[in-house]
Amino acid sequence: MHELTVSPWASLAYLVAGVCFILALRGLSSPASSQRGNRFGIIGMTIAVVTTLVTHVPTVQHLLVSDTGPTIAVRAIDWVTVVEILAAIGVGAAIGLVTARRIAMTAMPQLVAAFHSLVGLAAMLVGVAAYLNPQAFGISDLVVPMIGQPFAVIHPVSRIELGLGVAIGAITFSGSVIAFLKLNGNMGGKPIMLPGRHVINIALLAGILGLIAYFVTDQSAWIFWTITLLSFVIGFLLIVPIGGADMPVVVSMLNSYSGWAAAAMGFTLHNSAMIITGALVGSSGAILSYIMCRAMNRSFISVIAGGFGTSDAGAGSGGSAVDRPWKRGSAEDAAFLMSQAEQVIIVPGYGMAVAQAQHVLREMGDKLKAEGVRVKYAIHPVAGRMPGHMNVLLAEANVPYDDVFELEDINSEFAQTDVAFVIGANDVTNPAAKTDKSSPIYGMPVLDVEKAKTVLFIKRSMGGVGYAGVDNDLFYRDNTMMLLADAKKMVEDIVKALD
């Protein structure tokens, strides 16, 4: 059993780690400072991990028997356990390093969802370990003799921490697994509406909270495991009815959940670094979820309840490409129109990410600038499948930060823009969000690209729809020219035509 008291120097080290985490979040708020923010995060996590390892070195007790004196109990470092811990850290570090180097930017949203699931699972497993051996975690002082084995009575406050930590961790785990499957294409992006889902969710949530309250007075195993099981179930039920268009909110929401789960387990482990880090992640994730909901003109409750999207999504799409006229253009047409323009606004979306077209897109922008064209990039808050997805891709391609604008800063400029160049951004440019009350994206603020004199829209084919499952009215506007091809191939052809 390890010592749970924390020395002053360890508390100071945890405080420094917390400051580093705050600086990391501040740095990550802008692409220009994101690398610095990552460095602060790495430093803070290194300090926290090393401090925890040093202050919680596993020990074993040896009895020194002497013929001339009393038997002496001596504690020594348990090197076997130390090697196991270091081996586990090494394996995890290797997996993380390989994953980070090999993962494609298009798979970043599902990777984040997978990370959230691991955080939730880790929090839940810590709670299980604390429940099975409370004395090792310092959450039990009283041991009641029982038939078979002693029974450790867990502190009432620790029972609340355990119940909440395990519940939030299990919800985060199962919910993140469903989010991963949806983002990775293993499940459809359309919401799966279960009959009576609201009543079921409310009943399960009430049952979990009631059992946690009862757990304070009775720490029976059936109560603990029922809380865990019901939390797994409600995590699944909460995410299944949420449609693909809400995935950015789901990612940030699960990020918040993972933080609160870690904070709850921080209390169980008596680890201030976990409490600080968990609270930072939980609160920042909650704020980001609120910002995402405002960007989509939705309430947080409606998203959690699966109110965005229906099983017949796409009913209000206004017809298919087969029975509605549209205009097709070529790379040469696009190059000519943009080279003659005074201002071009580029609107990237998930289609650009899939095609990995950000580097050639920046090359196109540079050529247009060389010809005297003003080039700007318009980013919708929920473009892609997680917050900041497009900003990261453009930063990777070294697009100047001063050229990138958020929706509220650039929407008024489309009316004075010669060409709006849309590359793979479907739902966030759909004017039906402003006019068609039957559309599942109705009410979501979108980029006003249809107000530009000419809209060039890159899309693989006219048959597909956006992630929300609806067709885009913009395709059929008189001022829209469709460029049907792979996004990267089309932009490469446009670059050649500009030479």
Cα–Cα distance measured from residue 45 to residue 262, given in angstroms and rounded to the nearest whole number? 14
CA 490 to chain centre: 31
pLDDT higher at 267 or 207: 207
The residue annotated as part of the active site, out of 427, 471, 473, 493, is: 427
Token couple for 122? 């880790």
Sheet holding 480-484, edge to edge: 404-406, 374-379, 343-348, 419-423, 454-459, 480-484
Which residues are paired to 275 by β-bridges?
Answer: none
In this predicted structure, the answer to whether residue 411 has a pLDDT above a threshold of 50 is: yes
- Is the Cβ–Cβ distance between 255 and 270 less than 8 Å? no
Cα–Cα distance measured from residue 108 to residue 34, given in angstroms and rounded to the nearest whole number? 16
Cβ of 30: how many Cβ atoms within 10 Å?
13
Q: Is the dihedral of CA 240, 246, 247, 253 positive or negative?
A: negative
Q: What is the mean pLDDT of residues 149-166?
A: 84
Question: What DSSP state is assigned to residue 380?
Answer: -
In this predicted structure, the answer to whether residue 426 has a pLDDT above a threshold of 90 is: no
Which residues are within 8 A (CB) of 475 and not within 5 positions of it... i.e. 6 or more apart?
Answer: 321, 324, 326, 457, 459, 462, 482
CA distances 458 to 2, 40, 152, 310, 444, Å, are: 61, 39, 65, 27, 22
Return the percentage of the chain with pLDDT > 90, whole number: 31
Amino acid 280 reads L
CA distances 58 to 88, 126, 132, Å, are: 15, 17, 18
Indicate if 427 belongs to the active site.
yes
Q: What is the pTM of this model?
A: 0.76
32-91 pLDDT, tens digit per residue, is 788 899 999 999 999 998 998 888 888 777 666 666 666 666 777 888 888 999 999 999
